[in-house]
Structure 1
Amino acid sequence: MSTPWTGIFPAVTTKFTEDDRLDIAEMERSFALQLDAGVHGLIVCGSLGEASTLEPEEKIEVLRTALRVAKGRKPVLLTVVEGSTRRACKLAEDGAKAGAQGFMVLPGVPYKSDARETLTHYRTVAKAGGLPVMIYNNPVSYGVDITPAMLGELAADPLFVAIKESSDDVRRVTKIFNAVGDRFQVFTGVDNLALESLAVGAVGWVAGLVCAFPAETVAIYELMKQGRVAEALAIYRWFQPLLDLDVSARLVQNIKLVEALAAGSNDRCRAPRLPLAGAERAAVEAIVAKAMASRPQLPALRAAAE
């Protein structure tokens, strides 16, 4: 059941119409921009996708939209984050029926489960969905830490194939390898720790600002993979003020505004979130304007072996 997930997996945003319905056409356009830039998969309905505001049927509709655009060329993962294991299992079952190629699974937030509860939740949800799982570890935001020792306990189950490591401590990547070897595909989930994580062995990046700058994000990954560290670092340094916008309680509003300015999308959110205004909006606009004025010319990349 193992799968060789590697590379750039955008955590795509969910688009809404002015009357607060799903904007399918804009999602199709935005997802296609990602795939055309060379990303390696898509992840829908995560925290950046405003999962907590979506109805269950809306999550499946967003998934189906991404699957339609991907046309089987790249894997599409559905994020499973629910307040109860029961609801998470139902979403995993429905996602599998709709054609998801896998899941990114979170603990049963907002409850802060202990290790026994967390492991039981993951095993139960994985069994219900029956598809490969990327474990999402984000103790900073969700208060539950899936430690390297806990990963060792999950390693016996072949459904668990990857981890999105977002502990905000790049040292954790090495600790995972030291604990479980290369049993899991390790992805970084913190935009402004991405190059550092790739440098110490991460094989993928669940990215946020990729939604607005997919070519630059893919280039950093491919250059690091090819050992062209100096070229990757030059792009990463240019990208850093933008990447910092991912590490914020306002990451949804931040990234949607950057998408509107740099990729021709919109920054509509679902309430209670509202688009940025005032000084917050002006600060992001200034960061984007500076980045656009100094946007680097990307180096040619060697074709990846098929």
Structure 2
Amino acid sequence: MSDFPFPGLNLAVATPFDSEGRIDFARLERNIERYIAAGVRGFVLSSGTGMHVYLSTEESKSLVKRGAKIINGRAKIIAQTSALLVEDVVERTRYAADCGADGVMVLPPFFEGPTDHQGIVDFYTEVAKAGLPVIGYNVPQAVGVAVTPSLLNELSDIPGFCAVKDSSGDFVKQAALIRTGRPVMNGTDPLMLFALYAGCSGAIWGGAGFAPRTCVALFEAARARNWEAARDIWTSLEPVMSLICERDYVQSVYAAVELTGYGAGHPRKPLRGLPADRIEALRGALGGLAEREAAHHEPR
């Protein structure tokens, strides 16, 4: 859809932490500058990959505020504003709007929240009144609520609801969502090439944080409908994108960004860094990506 506000690659930024587990804003600025230099034109702040659920409300807000100030209009900004209470989601969304965010990504009510369609529709209707375009977040394996094609159609009729990010990991179900004609954003790393070919409207991609130039090139090839080039690029990405989704996704992304020079420190407790054998497996799966990305770290 030509008027879809978040086409292409939207990078879910791994929140950098220092050795004491605090947000490292200096490293955040350095990484965002590098990502913009690599061609990234959309960012998700306080994302799942960025450990949203392990940030306090004030930390998440400070991350959105500082990130938006660094980006300063050079790329689209999506802020995750998920929370248990709808009133908190609304308040966070209004705050994100004040900071200059272009939209928000919001989980459906989780931890024993409503699972019926009307309850989900009512929730997103209230969130959308906060004034920013809303991206629903379909990750049923984590929250117990699945966005089906019929529910997506209902949600898309809400003024301000603009898309669903599908992180279900089930391409058959994602293809069914895409067939509704409603905007769908892929959020499952190993499915990226297939989702692009199937016609997804865009993507929110955590794994792009360790290979931004290569991932941007994939989207450029797909936009040009040069599927042979896209397939060649995907050949270099697929091994590591599949590996990080086998288990310990967030920890794997943090380890991989270290290996390619976009370091974000260690994931925050209770998550732990990967063991040495897993890091070596990542190094092997990255192949030439590490050298390719490491050659372009400084902003132009």
Paired position in structure 1 for 2:83:
82
Aligned CA distance change for structure 1 residues 154 and 213 (closer, same or farther; 3 Å): same
Code of the aligned partner of 2:203: W
How far did 1:30 drift?
1.0
Percent of counterpart pairs with the same letter? 28
Paired position in structure 1 for 2:196:
198
Paired position in structure 2 for 1:281:
279
Code of the aligned partner of 1:68: K
How far did 1:40 drift?
2.4
Of 209, 213, 216, the match for 1:215:
213
* TM-score normalised by the chain length of structure 2: 0.90
* TM-score normalised by the chain length of structure 1: 0.88
Paired position in structure 2 for 1:263:
261
Code of the aligned partner of 1:94: Y
How far did 1:168 drift?
1.6
- 8 Å contact kept, 2:14–2:264: no
Aligned CA distance change for structure 1 residues 293 and 4 (closer, same or farther; 3 Å): closer
How far did 1:197 drift?
0.6
Aligned CA distance change for structure 1 residues 135 and 17 (closer, same or farther; 3 Å): same
Are 2:118 and 1:120 equivalent residues in the alignment?
Answer: no
Aligned CA distance change for structure 1 residues 286 and 134 (closer, same or farther; 3 Å): same
Aligned CA distance change for structure 1 residues 294 and 229 (closer, same or farther; 3 Å): farther
| RMSD, aligned CA | 2.0
Mapped to 1, the partners of 2:51 and 2:193 lie a distance apart of 26
- 8 Å contact kept, 1:254–1:276: yes
Aligned CA distance change for structure 1 residues 178 and 264 (closer, same or farther; 3 Å): closer
Aligned CA distance change for structure 1 residues 293 and 247 (closer, same or farther; 3 Å): closer
- 8 Å contact kept, 2:14–2:51: yes
Mapped to 1, the partners of 2:83 and 2:43 lie a distance apart of 20
Mapped to 2, the partners of 1:136 and 1:53 lie a distance apart of 18
How far did 1:278 drift?
3.5
How far did 1:175 drift?
2.1
Mapped to 2, the partners of 1:25 and 1:295 lie a distance apart of 24
- 8 Å contact kept, 1:173–1:200: no
Aligned CA distance change for structure 1 residues 110 and 282 (closer, same or farther; 3 Å): farther
- 8 Å contact kept, 2:156–2:163: no
How far did 1:98 drift?
2.2
Code of the aligned partner of 2:155: L
- 8 Å contact kept, 1:110–1:142: yes
How far did 1:132 drift?
0.6
Code of the aligned partner of 1:208: G
- 8 Å contact kept, 1:189–1:207: yes
How far did 1:27 drift?
0.6
- Matched ranges for 1:1-306 at <5 A: 3-111=4-112, 113-114=114-115, 115-127=117-129, 129-179=130-180, 181=181, 184-288=182-286, 290-292=287-289
| Equivalent position SS for 1:263 | coil
| Equivalent position SS for 2:260 | helix
Code of the aligned partner of 1:236: W
Code of the aligned partner of 2:105: M
Paired position in structure 2 for 1:304:
none
Code of the aligned partner of 1:116: Q
Mapped to 2, the partners of 1:245 and 1:57 lie a distance apart of 33
- Structure 1 unaligned residues grouped into runs of 5+: 297-306
Mapped to 1, the partners of 2:290 and 2:272 lie a distance apart of 28
How many residues are paired up?
Answer: 290
Mapped to 2, the partners of 1:253 and 1:63 lie a distance apart of 22
Code of the aligned partner of 1:110: F
- 8 Å contact kept, 1:166–1:188: yes
Code of the aligned partner of 2:71: A
Aligned CA distance change for structure 1 residues 233 and 30 (closer, same or farther; 3 Å): same
Code of the aligned partner of 1:21: R
